[in-house]
């Protein structure tokens, strides 16, 4: 029931969407890192939220970020805190693994 509610945000009848939903359900049951690629507005965050919600990590935070909004010169620092001495904010990756 909960699975159906989360996946209901993904709308489509095409074979490509059906395949993507099936893959979402499959990878959510693993410990694998998932990389979602696609054009702006194609639903990457919907699929990311579905994977998270269906996974064993559902009780931990999901940190959604827009990498395109972060300058290339800062992306590594923002994600992994590689220059922590100059950045008072915690690394984004650390926020997601805080539990």
Kindly state whether residue 60 falls inside one of the protein's structural domains.
no
| Residue 93 confidence class, pLDDT cut points 50, 70, 90 | low
Q: What is the pLDDT of residue 33?
A: 86
Kindly state whether residue 61 falls inside one of the protein's structural domains.
no
Q: How many domains does the chain have?
A: 2
Q: Looking at the predicted structure, is the pLDDT value of residue 94 above 80?
A: no
Q: pLDDT tens digit string along 49-66?
A: 999 999 999 998 888 888
The CB-based long-range contact list for 6-12 (8 Å cut-off, 24+ gap) reads 6/49, 6/50, 6/53, 6/54, 7/50, 9/46, 9/49, 9/50, 10/43, 10/46, 10/47, 10/50
Residue count (the chain) = 99
pLDDT: which is higher, 31 or 93: 31
Q: What is the mean pLDDT of the chain?
A: 82
Kindly state whether residue 59 falls inside one of the protein's structural domains.
no
Q: Which domain holds residue 48?
A: 2-54
């Amino acid at each position: 029931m909960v699975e159906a509610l989360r996946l209901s945000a993904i709308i489509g009848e095409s074979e490509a969407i059906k395949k993507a939903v099936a893959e979402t359900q499959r990878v959510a049951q693993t410990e694998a890192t998932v990389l979602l690629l696609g054009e702006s507005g194609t639903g990457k965050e919907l699929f990311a939220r579905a994977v998270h919600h269906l996974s064993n990590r559902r009780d931990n935070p999901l940190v959604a970020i827009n990498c395109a909004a972060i300058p290339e010169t800062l992306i590594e620092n923002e994600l992994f805190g590689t220059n922590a001495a100059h950045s008072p904010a915690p690394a984004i990756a650390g926020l997601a693994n805080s539990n």
